[in-house]
């Protein structure tokens, strides 16, 4: 275990992703390598879940594309996840928002969290 | 053959340069100490004999202890011979990870597979079993099926695959890539799986 931790501490890229949570609306900047070229693709949607531990953490982002639900799973430690931007903070009452998959239209909307200033 | 004896620590995954997640085995290869150098003149073949790990002196036989003392090496866990090594070493020298390997090298891993005890043919030889689960059938699902013809030859031919002791064999896995070397902790990360339990000893050869 000690050795495993040592490897992850040394090999995992240190990244400063913002502290986003399930329910947040985020933009994920994902690096795509095409031959010699590298470009960044943006995936915008709601964070459904964050799972895993240490360097194996992943998060799932769901969006509606032409009326079809699309989900992508991103590993937190992947060098291809360049950045994550939080657009809206969601007000949700659970950690895994699987129930959103069943809902459409206005019911599938996540209420925005209002901050007291 | 150049190589090292190491201890299997376990498996994990790391990201390679292209960003893909690769499964790898961690091997802790503490310095191996040369206990004897064999040459074709004196022994009939060329090899270096190395010792891995450590053991209390009281647990080592006097004969073996004398052998260690002669080389000036502390008593070890396992002694292995590396045939036709190109490393120029004397008795008592240490062989470390970064001397033998480089990142990207293609290596073989030799170890003992996990012992599985007495197993049937489905697990042992990947037989499919016989027949259905339903339609009145019973107790045939993991059966071997026919083991030969009847009165001619009226015997079961030798080498017929049947149940028996499984695993615990010495196995060589070829063409594994070295993904990473961490000489400060004597660690090797080898792509893919390596035979044996966590904590078992493996020989990594180039």
ipTM confidence score: 0.73
**Residue B22 to residues B30, B40, B183: CA-CA distances in angstroms?**
24, 42, 21
- B8 has which bridge partners? B27
Which pLDDT belongs to residue B90?
Answer: 81
Q: Is A56 on the interface with B (CB under 8 A)?
A: yes
Contact B118, B163 (CB under 8 A): yes
pLDDT at A116: 58
Q: Which token pair is A114? A: 């209002």
DSSP 3-state of A86: strand
Query: Which residues of A are less than 8 Å from B10 in CB distance?
Result: 4
Q: CA torsion, points A43, A74, A99, A24, in degrees to nearest 10? A: -60
Which CATH number is B3-117+170-205's, of 3.30.530.20, 2.40.30.10, 3.60.110.10, 1.10.238.10?
A: 2.40.30.10
- What are the extents of the domains in chain B? 3-117+170-205, 118-166
A80: Cβ–Cβ under 8 A, 6 or more apart, which residues? A30, A31, A32, B19
Identity of the residue in B12, B19, B185 whose CB atom sits nearest the CB atom of A80: B19
Interface residues of chain B, partner chain A, Cβ below 8 Å: 9-10, 12-15, 18-19, 21, 26, 28, 180, 182, 185, 187, 189
Q: Kindly determine whether residue B9 and residue A11, on different chains, have CB atoms separated by under 8 Å.
A: no
CB nearest to A3's CB, from B18, B19, B187: B187
Nearest chain A residue (CA) to B25: A4
A57 touches chain B (CB under 8 A): no
Instruction: Give the integer Cα–Cα distance in Å for B121 and B174.
Output: 26
Tens-place pLDDT, residues B106-120 = 999 999 999 999 999
Please give the average pLDDT of every successive group of 10 residues along chain B, which has 206 residues.
89 85 91 89 89 90 91 88 83 85 91 95 93 87 91 92 93 92 89 93 91
Burial (Cβ within 10 Å: 0-12, 13-18, ≥19) of residue B42: exposed
Q: Which of B14, B199, B54 is nearest to A6 (CA)?
A: B14
Instruction: Encode pLDDT of A38-50 as tens digits.
Output: 889 999 999 999 9
Higher pLDDT, A114 or A57: A57
Q: Which residues sit opposite A37 in a β-bridge?
A: A34
C-alpha–C-alpha distance, residues A37 and A34, integer Å: 5
Residue B97 dihedral angles phi and psi, to the nearest 5°: -55, -50
Residues of chain B with Cβ-Cβ distance to A80 below 8 Å are 19
Task: Please indicate if any CB of chain B lies within 8 Å of the CB of A33.
Answer: yes
How does pLDDT run across A52-105, given as a tens digit for each residue? 987 788 999 999 888 889 999 999 888 888 889 999 888 889 999 999 988 887
Q: Is A58 an 8 Å CB contact of chain B?
A: no
Q: Flag if B19 and A78 touch (Cβ within 8 Å).
A: yes
Check: pTM over 0.90? Answer yes or no.
no
| B185/A6 touch (CB, cutoff 8 Å), yes or no | yes
Determine whether the interchain pair A3/B14 forms a contact, defined as Cβ–Cβ distance below 8 Å: no
- Residue of B150 and A109 predicted with greater confidence: B150
A87 three-state secondary structure: strand
Whether the predicted pLDDT of A10 surpasses 80:
no
């Amino acid at each position: 275990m000690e050795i495993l931790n040592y490897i992850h501490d040394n090999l995992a890229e240190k990244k400063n992703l913002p502290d986003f949570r399930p329910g947040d609306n985020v933009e994920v900047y994902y690096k795509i390598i095409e031959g010699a070229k590298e470009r960044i693709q943006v995936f915008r949607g709601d964070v459904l879940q964050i799972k895993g531990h240490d360097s194996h953490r992943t998060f799932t982002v769901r969006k509606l594309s032409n009326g079809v639900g699309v989900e992508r799973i991103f590993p937190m430690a992947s060098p291809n996840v360049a950045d994550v931007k939080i657009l809206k903070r969601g007000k949700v009452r659970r950690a895994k928002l699987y129930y959103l998959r069943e809902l459409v239209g206005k019911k599938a909307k996540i209420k925005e969290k209002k901050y007291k200033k | 053959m150049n190589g090292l004896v190491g201890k299997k620590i376990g498996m994990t995954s790391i990201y390679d340069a292209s960003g893909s997640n690769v499964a790898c085995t961690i091997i802790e290869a503490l310095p191996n100490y040369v206990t004897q150098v064999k040459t074709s003149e004196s022994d009939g073949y060329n090899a270096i004999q190395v010792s891995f790990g450590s053991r209390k002196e009281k647990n080592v036989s006097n004969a073996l202890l004398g052998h260690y003392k002669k080389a000036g090496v502390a008593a070890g866990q396992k002694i292995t011979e590396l045939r036709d090594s190109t490393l120029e070493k004397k008795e008592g020298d240490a062989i470390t990870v970064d001397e033998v390997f480089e990142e990207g090298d293609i290596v073989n891993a030799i170890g003992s597979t996990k012992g599985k005890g007495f197993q049937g043919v489905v697990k042992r030889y990947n037989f499919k079993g016989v027949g259905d689960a339903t339609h009145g059938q019973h107790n045939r699902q993991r059966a071997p099926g026919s083991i030969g013809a009847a009165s001619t030859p009226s015997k079961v031919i030798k080498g017929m695959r049947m149940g028996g002791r499984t695993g615990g064999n010495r196995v060589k896995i070829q063409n594994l890539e070295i993904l990473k070397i961490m000489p400060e902790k004597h660690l090797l990360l080898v792509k893919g799986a390596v035979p044996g339990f966590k904590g078992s000893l493996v020989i990594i050869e180039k």
